[in-house]
Structure 1
Amino acid sequence: MIDPRVLRDDPDRVRAAQAKRGLSDEVVDRALAADGARRAAIAEYEAKRSQQKSMGKQVAQAQGEEKQELLARTKELSAEVKAAEAAQGEAEAAWQEALLSIPNLAAEEAPAGGEDDYVVLEHVGTPRDLQAEGITPRDHVELGRMLGAIDLERGAKVSGSRFYFLTGVGAELEFALVNLANATAREHGFTQVVAPSMVKPRAMEGTGFLGQAADDVYRIEGQDMYLVGTSEVPMAAFHSEEILDGASLPLRYAAFSPCFRKEAGSHGTDTRGIIRVHWFDKVEMFVYTTVEESFAEHQRLLDIEKSFLEKLELAYRVIDTAAGDLGLSAQRKFDCEAWIPTQGRYRELTSTSNCTEFQTRRLDTRGRFGQEIRPVATLNGTLCAIPRTIVAILETHQQADGSVRVPEALRPYLGRDVLEPVTA
């Protein structure tokens, strides 16, 4: 959640942030009113409790008829205290609900607007023009079939649409990518983690995924559990309700996990192949640090993502995501989008977000800095989302006969220089 002091002391800043995301500022007025009602309810309850304590002393000293009158009044006051306590609880709940519905305040540098209002920060590499090389482009579906790497038909038969099997060199390619991603993470001082893919509601809510993204989340019926869409969720909750040693920061983790997404709202979009699927594996970077250091750390995560794409010899661009396309928790987000030859456009492969204190306030993760205890910042960054990375590799490095050249950085993990077709 946002810092309540910012809401109280500078509500116009919050209103401006809402406008930048294209959202109504009604929630700001609602939250301020709820805060006022909460404070009034606290004052009323404390006044009643004080009166109750004072009357208790009077009863102890009173005699006869006066004592009976005081006892009668004490009974009435007890009911009033209970009512005031209940009102205080309701006011607190209304305040928390309003506060939790306000997204993180988008960075001043983030572009205003929606999904199409991003700003391109840089292009890296030259998109491959296969036709200019005399190659008839094959998409990843055809290449996957020829290589015996991707089986969409059996994926649909077994699990339904947007599921798939990786077989043969497809499965080998996943493991090679995971190993390269893990080696890259270790090079940069990250602790490797295998994270659970099922979490309690607190973890999901604490990371903001039961807000605007709730429709895309799988809930396990009959259990109070959710399947995660990213290991950002369990890693954000990893240190929940803890006070970290400020001297130990930053804490850098690289977590592997399966990820599950309903892809709600994507009906008819990317229905061919494995660009947009319900399940995939991913290696995700996650960092705990101070807010002051979070901005430099954000750039560091982006640089690591860029270096990984360059190891895969992919042409890509970096975009600064517009405020209206940020997740609830993000203050700013950069996406790296790789060139997909058969689509003739860039598609997102990785992203990195600075969530500042938004998640840690919800999950009660703080740091001790001398005599001061305060919330820390969290950041996340995709190092390798397997299916889309496979798509980019197959299409970018395809050759005229349907074989695929393996990027040099992957060869030690894959044990071959070229993926050869097994069928025409």
Structure 2
Amino acid sequence: MLTCGRFLSSSAAASTPSLSPFRNLTLSLLRRPHLRLLSSSATASAAAAAVEPDTKGGAGGGAAKPQWKAAIDFKWIRENTDAVAVNIRDRNSAANLDLVLQLYDEYLALQKEVERLRAERNAVANKMKGKLEPSVRQALVEEGKNLKEGLIALEEDLVQLTDKLQLEAQSIPNTTHPDAPVGGEESSVVRKEVGSQRNFNFTIRDHLQLGKELDLFDFDAAAEVSGSKFYYLKNEAVLLEMALVNWAITEVSKKGFTPLITPEIVRSSVVEKCGFQPRAQNTQVYSIDNSDQCLIGTAEIPVGGIHMDSILPDSDLPRKYVAYSHCFRTEAGAAGAATRGLYRVHQFSKVEMFVFCRPEESDKCHEELITIEEELYASLGLHFKTLDMATGDLGAPAYRKFDIEAWMPGLDRYGEISSASNCTDYQSRRLGIRFRPSPADPPPANAKKGKGSSGPTQFVHTLNATAVAVPRLIICILENFQQEDGTVVIPEPLRPFMGGLEVLSPKTK
């Protein structure tokens, strides 16, 4: 499937004005009065510098390197303007499509002008190769100098324009699966429901009360040490976290996933290429001052970057990872009773699944990921529902996303415990991750030609899904499996990972 490039987030990029008309710049440069004649000793070297053939596509000096670039298919965007505009609207994105198209047209025109000047400069250089009268040679020297100066100025403009075009285009969200519900979060559709709410014949405690009685958490000390929304896990809660992590990695590894423990500090550019804005207003990302690094909010980011700027062998696809990491989120704007306790915190442990696959396999891999999630949570005995998320809640990278919400009786509501997203080639176009199909596979129309006879490369598709977000599952286990006497029954699959412990009991004073 051809998508319209890969982009940062649904937040709008800063508005950028157009460059001054480049044709007027070219004419003004080429109409300058001739500079004074060079001395005879300097003429040869100056002439060579002024009219040396342009074989590297640049005039040298002055032009700053552009920012990292996504492989955005601008031609596809321009040919499908109506569809892209509808997608931006349906996803509540603030991307400025009109500005992207305007900048792209300016880019094409400026690029054409640069190529024209390069050709003229090379033509002048070729004329200098023969035997010429001094006056003719000097005229060619002056013409070559003017062309070089004009070319330097235009190439600087081209770099700036390319950066502005990228900045604006990166805010365009991924395309959307045709079956995704259109609308806000309330328009999401229940795809599957497992189990039912437990009927309690006693007063329900929430996880905060249970944690206090079982001596599992310390929020007060953590608030003094680190601030609000931090916590200490204590006693059996530590064993429960380790059990959830080890159980999830063990179960997912059985399905062909390679276990990873990832870096938890990454470059800001990698965060951006995965579709997040680390330095935007109300960002969820912690950035490290005076550096180009951030704390990760999910292992999706370092796993997504593990094959950055590489070509994967076709025989290795799909490549599947299950990664453990700590995650750090600012939770900007989060407040209220619905976020109390462990539900929304700044630091937590998570096990994440990630897949690199061929484009035609991504829908199948998406189904595999959501099936794994459902099997994991069903085996714990949780009541949950799987939602096909509406367009307004997809974020920028996801082509389609399924969320799982589990019943949390102490909070008296469903709470999200996982999501599974198919990002198609949104991230791989930005991260530069391709594969080379086997010769038997026909290349798509937009494939990039490779070297030799091994055929063109294509962008892989990437998918991510939560296996275990530890704090949310601790909430589910404590609140769903609490007993009238204040004990909590440990789900059977976790018991081997907790030394055979079956029940959490209040501490004897």
Normalized against structure 2, the TM-score is what? 0.80
Match of 1:82 in 2: 152
Q: 1:333 aligns with which of 401, 411, 420?
A: 401
Aligned to 1:418: 503
Pairing partner for 2:233 from 166, 178, 188: 166
Q: Distance in 1 between matches of 2:401 and 2:350?
A: 18
Asked if 1:194 is matched to 2:264, the reply is no
Aligned-residue offset at 1:17: 0.8
| Matching residue within 289, 298, 302 for 1:230 | 298
Counterpart of 1:343 in 2: which secondary structure? coil
Matched-pair contact (CA < 8 Å) for 2:282–2:333: no
Aligned to 1:272: 340
The one-letter code sitting in structure 1 at the alignment partner of 2:375 is: S
What displacement does 1:378 show?
A: 0.3
Q: Quick check: 382-391 or 180-189, which moved more?
A: 180-189
How big is the shift at 1:128? 0.9
Cα distance change on mapping 1:213 and 1:387 into 2, 3 Å: farther
Displacement after TM superposition at 1:214 (Å): 6.3
Letter in 2 for 1:260: F
The answer to whether the 8 A contact 1:162-1:271 is kept is: no
1:382 is matched with: 466
1:398 equivalent to 2:398? Answer no
Per-residue deviation, residues 318-337 of structure 1 (Å, max 9, x unmatched): 11111111121111110111
Q: Deviations over 1:132-159 (max 9, x none)?
A: xx22101001111111111111121211
Instruction: Pick which of 268-277 and 300-309 moved more.
Output: 268-277
Query: CA 1:111 to 1:214, structure 2 compared with 1: closer, same or farther past 3 Å?
Result: same
Aligned-partner Cα distance in 2 for 1:174–1:22: 37
Match of 1:291?
A: 359
Whether the 8 Å contact between 1:146 and 1:423 is mirrored in structure 2 is no
- Partner of 2:107 in structure 1? 38
1:59–1:269 Cα change, 3 Å: farther
Q: How many residue pairs were aligned?
A: 420
Mapped partners of 2:507, 2:234: distance in 1: 12
2:216 to 123, 137, 149: 149
Report the counterpart of residue 415 of structure 2 in structure 1.
347
- What runs of 5+ residues in structure 1 fail to find an aligned partner? none
Separation in 2, partners of 1:280, 1:186: 22
Alignment-mate amino acid for residue 54 of structure 1 = A
Q: Does structure 2 conserve the Cα–Cα contact (< 8 Å) formed by 1:365 and 1:375?
A: yes
Instruction: Give the drift of 1:60.
Output: 3.0
Q: Which shows bigger deviation, 397-406 or 67-76? A: 67-76
**1:421 maps to amino acid:** P
Q: CA deviation at 1:117?
A: 2.1
Q: Counterparts of 1:90 and 1:151 in 2: how far apart (Å)? A: 52
* Runs (4+) off by over 4 Å: 211-214
- What is the CA distance between 1:239 and its match in structure 2? 0.4
* Structure 1 residue 362: Cα displacement: 0.4
Aligned counterparts of 2:281 and 2:84: Cα–Cα separation in 1: 21
Match of 1:51, as an amino acid?
A: E
2:206 and 2:479 in contact (8 A); partners too? yes
Show CA shifts across 1:215-238 (max 9, x none). Answer: 111001122110010000001111
Is the Cα–Cα contact under 8 Å of residues 321 and 335 in structure 1 kept in the other structure? yes
d(CA) in 2 for partners of 1:357 and 1:254?
20
Q: What is the aligned counterpart of 1:139 among 203, 206, 227?
A: 206
Q: Which amino acid aligns with 1:186?
A: S
1:180 paired residue number: 247
Equivalence for 2:447: none
Query: Where do residues 42-61 of structure 1 align in structure 2 (5 Å cutoff)?
Result: 42-61=111-130
Distance in 2, matches of 1:184 and 1:170, equals 21
Match 1:129 to one of 199, 206, 213 = 199
Quick one: distance in 2 between partners of 1:170 and 1:155? 15
Which is helix-richer, 1 or 2?
1
Q: Give the partner amino acid of 1:168.
A: N
CA distance in 1, matches of 2:428, 2:213: 47
Higher mean C-alpha displacement, 204-213 vs 230-239: 204-213
Shift of 1:250: 0.4
Q: CA deviation at 1:9?
A: 2.1
Larger radius of gyration: 2
- Read off the aligned partner of 1:69 and give its amino acid letter: A
Aligned equivalents of 2:334 and 2:496: distance in 1? 37
Q: 2:317 aligns with which of 249, 252, 256?
A: 249
Q: How well do the aligned residues superpose, as a CA RMSD in angstroms? A: 1.5
CA distance in 1, matches of 2:345, 2:281: 16
TM-score of the two chains, using structure 1 as the length reference: 0.96
Taking the aligned partners of 1:295 and 1:397, their CA distance within structure 2 comes to 35
Deviates further, 55-64 or 169-178: 55-64
2:96 alignment partner, one of 6, 10, 27:
27
The one-letter amino acid of 1:319's match is L
Q: Which residue of 1 aligns with 2:13?
A: none
Cα distance change of structure 1 residues 70 and 386 upon mapping to structure 2, 3 Å threshold: same
Q: 1:296-315 counterparts in 2 under 5 A?
A: 296-315=364-383
Q: Which structure's residues are more often strand, by fraction?
A: 1
Once the two structures are superposed, residues 161-183 of structure 1 have per-residue CA deviations (whole angstroms, 9 ceiling, x without a partner) of: 10001100000000010111011
- Partners of 1:340 and 1:271 lie apart in 2 by 12
Equivalent pair of 1:111/1:322 in contact (CA under 8 Å): yes
Match of 1:358 in 2: 426
CA contact (8 A) 1:129 1:341 kept: no
Instruction: Indicate conservation of the 8 Å contact 1:48/1:84, yes or no.
Output: no
- In the alignment, the residues of structure 2 paired with residue 7 and residue 254 of structure 1 have an alpha-carbon distance, to the nearest angstrom, of 34
The alpha-carbon deviation at position 423 of structure 1 amounts to: 5.3
How far apart are residue 271 of structure 1 and its match?
4.6
The CA distance in 2 between the partners of 1:141 and 1:201, in whole Å, is 35
Identity %: 39
Give the distance between the partners of 1:301 and 1:288, measured in 2 at CA.
12
Name the amino acid aligned to 1:48: L
Partner of 2:69: none
Which residue identity lines up with residue 477 of structure 2 in the other structure?
Answer: I
1:259 CA displacement? 0.1
Which shows bigger deviation, 189-198 or 323-332?
Answer: 323-332
Contact 1:20–1:106 (Cα < 8 Å) also in 2: no
- For structure 2, list consecutive stretches of 5 or more residues without a partner in the other structure: 7-71, 439-454
- Asked whether 1:113 is paired with 2:189, we answer no
